Chains A and B, each alone.
Chain A
Amino acid sequence: MIVQIARLLKILNSESEPGQISLAFCFSMVAGLTPALSAHNLLVLLAVLLLRVNLSAFLLGWLFFSASAYLLDPIFHRIGLAVLSAAALEGLWTYLYNIPMVRFTRFNNTVVMGSLVFAVAGFVPLYYLSNTLIFRYRDRLLGWVRNTRWMAVVKATRVYSAYERLAGWGGGA
């Protein structure tokens, strides 16, 4: 059982380059901010599983952004309404609206469209911001965290030992 948990942790914590973690955060923002049952989230899930991104970061970010979405819904609604009502885009939306598979994605919903636009617009900035923060964390804070008592307790667990052993087999990024 412990080995299995350690294996899961290993999979989740592989791909630990800053870029891989940042990309995971960016995907989690798209999945978390947009309504969970939106069709485009299938593509996000495929991308997350197919690309070498950090799965732990994705899950953590998804939880964080899902919670934030409740507060941001009114803003998403306004953005979505503005985008869907834009006269210049009406032809495009009308064309898409008449394609059954596209309409099924609920792109014409103000919250779906607003949150997607917000998440896509924030994708690249978040990537660079996360990268910068991860670098700084590793430079300045990681050493201190490793020496905390809490970390010592975690390292003493059997799951951690098993995880260390598995990580030593050559897994990871």
Chain B
Amino acid sequence: MKRWFRWWGIAAFAVLVVLVAVGWLLLADRIVKNALQSAGTRVVGAQVDIRKADLSLFPAGLTLIGLQVTNPQQPMQNAVEAERIAMSLDAPALLQRKILIEELTLEGVRLNTPRKSSGAVKTASSRRDDAAGKKAAPSASESDLPGELLSGAFIVPDVGEILKNEKLQTLVLAESLRSEIEAEKRRWEQRLDELPDKEKLASYRSRIDRLKNARKGGLGSLLGAPAELVAVQNDLKRDIDRIEASLGEFEKQSKSFENQLNQLTKAPEADLQRLTSKYSLSPGGLSNIGGLFLKHRLRVWIERAIAWYQRLQPLVSRPAAAANGPRAVVPLRGTGVNIRFAETTPQPDLLIRRVRAGIDLKQMKLTGDVETITSDPPLVGRPLRFDFVGKDAAAAGSIRLNGLLDSTDPQRKLGKAHLQMQNVAIGPKSLSDRPEMTARLQSAVVDLDLRTALDEERIHLKLEAGLDAVRLSAESSRGDSGLARALSEALAGVRRINASASVDGTLLQQQIQLTTDLDRVLKDAVTDLARRQATELTQSLRKGIRAETNAPIKETGLQLDRFGRVGDELSGRLALGDNLLKGLL
């Protein structure tokens, strides 16, 4: 035996195994922490930080301290922060690489907290975009609300600035017509060279004269003359026909250019109408300006909610494990592919049966449960449900949020949520942070009923809200038109807002219908001012457009005149040919 075995090898093996196990135990917390941070960052698309992770083996469990999830849209803000997350793990399931959690407790959860450093992460695609100098398409929060409408409302637009930024269609048309005329002129000049010119026509006169002299000659000349005469006549007729056909074609072309020139002279008026409607605030446009403030805020909320849903959705809707036959999943370069086989007692890769959470809002604490978070809803056969309740003792206000997300049928995903708020005091909220006008809802007491439904990719939302004890503030920082002042004063005087909204569409695009009595208040305040401003703007714009377009239009007309000379030349040649033909007959 000694010839084949070295018995001290068992001891060496035991020592090595113990060393590795101790090393793993010492580093396990750090390994788990780093793995969770990088997986979370990949899912969220922004930095996920964990201050400390504590993994215990007997009993199996994990506690995370100081979780921070960056808001990808605002990297200096955490979307969620949790003081402590504790969970017990099913150890035998871990051997099968499955995470089964009976209960997970979330303590000290806070939303939208500031970060000390940016949590933005550079993805490969964003790095490529940066290198290419590309800019991401603005979201609703970036592009902000009323846009050009507000530009018109709060700043008296500078005509010079408008004309510098806008491309006048008149100038585009004039430039295009001029180059077209120039090209046609060159083509006709070439064609003139190919057509019988005055010299050629003069040569007919010589031939005719020679024939006339021949008549006076002898008998031989007299016999050959008629045939020669017919030949000259045919040649001349052929040339006249060519000139006539070209003249007809030219006149058609010339007429078309004249029509275009005529349209060009009307183009400045079309430009004026376009720019006036773009840069002035019509009384009609004011009819929904109040809605625009709230609509913008609503769109931002919807965008954020959908973005989070889409980020987290892949974690809780992985297709069911193969019941029949092996199936390959997620190939990764260099790490192979895990083949899944049918399980005798199928279990999902991830199942959290219950999450108990306490969320600290500014005015109240929201507590509740989320049930059945799983990567394999069809296998578990139960939808994800959530129910949160919060009470504000001081203002007797309450919030309730409940709903479900049902992916148990792989063919159809359904979801619904219901948010009720009663007498809830809300703090400062920005409605617009555009430089033209900043508007803030300083405080209000809200009653709100919001219901959403999701059916596959289709979303439907219905909102009824009433805001009491409203304090709004607004100011225009860039320019101080009477219109901006009037709007600011009107907003400051608002004490109650009623709003109802419905949203229909897909996860990618939604139609928002919103009505609010804020519209009437603002419209009353600014209608006359808006009309006056629109008239002034129209006059100034007309003057400016004329100054810009007069010269190009005139130049185009002159060019068309020069083009007309081709027609004069053709007419001259035709008259000469006709005279010769008459003399011959």
Contacts and interface: CB of A to CB of B under 8 A. Distances in A.
Interface of A: 42, 45-46, 48-52, 70, 73, 76-77, 80-81, 84-85, 90, 93-94, 97-98, 100-101, 103-104, 106, 108-112, 114
Given A42-B17, A98-B343, A103-B95, A52 B3 contact: yes
Interface in B16-63: 16-17
B337 A50 contact: no
Contact of B95 (A42, A97, A101): A101
A109 B336 contact: yes
A109 B341 contact: no
14 contacts: A49-B9, A49-B10, A49-B13, A50-B7, A76-B336, A94-B342, A100-B92, A100-B96, A104-B95, A108-B341, A109-B336, A110-B338, A111-B334, A112-B336
B248 interface: no
* 4 tightest Cβ-Cβ pairs between the two chains A and B: A111-B336, A49-B9, A97-B341, A50-B9
Given A46-B9, A108-B340, A109-B335, 18 more contacts: A45-B13, A49-B6, A49-B9, A50-B13, A51-B9, A52-B3, A52-B4, A73-B336, A80-B336, A81-B339, A90-B341, A97-B340, A97-B343, A103-B97, A106-B338, A110-B336, A110-B338, A114-B336
B344 interface: yes
Nearest to B12: A49
Interface string B143-161: 0000000000000000000
Contacts, number: 86
B16 A45 contact: yes
B328 interface: yes
Interface in B308-345: 325-326, 328, 334-344
B326 A90 contact: yes
Interface string B200-221: 0000000000000000000000
A42 B21 CA distance: 12
Contacts of B10: 46, 49-50
Contacts of A76: 336
A110 B335 CA distance: 8
A85 B325 CA distance: 9
Contacts of B338: 106, 108-110
Nearest to B20: A42
Contacts of A45: 13, 16
Nearest to A84: B339
B337 A109 contact: yes
Nearest to A46: B13
A100 B344 CA distance: 12
Nearest to A52: B6
Contacts of A81: 328, 337, 339
B130 to A, nearest CB: 31
Contacts of B6: 49-52
A51 B12 contact: no
A98 B347 CA distance: 11
B334 A73 contact: yes
B205 to A, nearest CB: 91
A104 B96 contact: yes
A94 B5 contact: no
Contacts of A97: 340-343
Contacts of A106: 338
Contacts of B337: 77, 81, 109-110
B336 A94 contact: no
Contacts of A77: 336-337
Contacts of A109: 335-339
B4 to A, nearest CB: 6
A90 B96 CA distance: 18
Most buried by A among B17, B334, B340: B334
A17 to B, nearest CB: 10
Contacts of A51: 4-6, 9
A94 B335 CA distance: 21
B17 A94 contact: no
A49 B16 CA distance: 11
Contacts of A104: 95-97
Contacts of B335: 109, 111
Nearest to A15: B6
Nearest to B93: A100
A111 B342 CA distance: 20
A88 to B, nearest CB: 13
Most buried by A among B3, B325, B336: B336
A97 B339 CA distance: 10
Interface string B531-558: 0000000000000000000000000000
B9 to A, nearest CB: 3
Contacts of A103: 95-97
A100 B343 CA distance: 11
A59 B214 CA distance: 121
A106 to B, nearest CB: 8
Interface in B75-100: 92, 95-97
B9 A90 contact: no
A149 B335 CA distance: 45
A20 B129 CA distance: 58
A76 B339 CA distance: 14
A30 to B, nearest CB: 16
A45 B17 CA distance: 10
Given A52-B3, A103-B97, A93 B341 contact: yes
Nearest to B92: A100
A45 B337 CA distance: 26
B325 A90 contact: yes
A85 B339 contact: yes
A100 B92 CA distance: 7
B139 to A, nearest CB: 40
Nearest to B9: A49
A100 B95 contact: yes
Nearest to A87: B325
B390 to A, nearest CB: 42
A49 B14 CA distance: 10
A59 to B, nearest CB: 14
Nearest to B337: A110
Nearest to B16: A45
A98 B338 CA distance: 14
